[in-house]
Amino acid sequence: MHHCTKDHIILSKWLVENEKSRLPCYSTHNLGAAGVVFSQDKQKILMIKENHTLFKNMWKFPGGLVDQGETIEEASVREVFEETGIKSEFQGILGIREQLNFRFGQGDLYFPCMMLAQNEKIQRQEIELLDAQWIEIVRIFVQQQQQGDLRDKQIYAMANEVTKHILKIYDQDRENVYERLLQFTLTSRDEILFSNLYFFIQNTLQIRLRDIILIDR
């Protein structure tokens, strides 16, 4: 058997004798997206605490799995709205989190996406979420200065790494965090033969591919 879906079971047989099948495996990765949503004044970011998890007392970004037939942009906008009631505008991809042996033994690719809020009144999805708040960047910065690394304290895993990236920029330019972060984001998209290609736009800063956040934990 090659794979099965809700409607089909697909069988395969490699017809060349004494030769290992070279048919590619079926889906090998889960795909997810999170919204790193900035408030309209660009001084706060939207964070949540989940209800049903071992880490429910830790902050993270709203997000989840990309549905079939959905783009990363569409998924990030949908997940943010479903969980918090916040409508947001996709700005670009901040980075990629890669994890092996995730759900059902598959790999996991997770895309934190930079977004700008279109409204700010939170309507929390009460079944899934314990809490949802706008948190001032300066508040997180002060806590980091006082406590050091926030990992295992307040902000969970990938969200912690992305937050530290934001705080580094905040430490350099507190008045223009949003604009500076946007310069290091995959912000432009071309639709090419039913697929999307995201790439850097050359701004006043020299953007290099190695500047993208790559998180493998």
Q: Which residues are catalytic?
A: 82
**Virtual torsion, Cα 113, 59, 110, 53, nearest 10 deg:** -150
Q: Is 77 helix (H, G, I), strand (E, B) or coil?
A: helix
Rounded Cα–Cα distance for residues 54 and 58 (Å)? 9
Tell me the backbone φ, ψ of residue 88, rounded to 5 degrees: -140, 160
Q: Which among 186, 151, 143 has a CA at the least distance from the CA of 167?
A: 143
For CA atoms 116, 181, 79, 66, the dihedral sign is positive
Rounded Cα–Cα distance for residues 202 and 199 (Å)? 10
DSSP code of residue 210: G
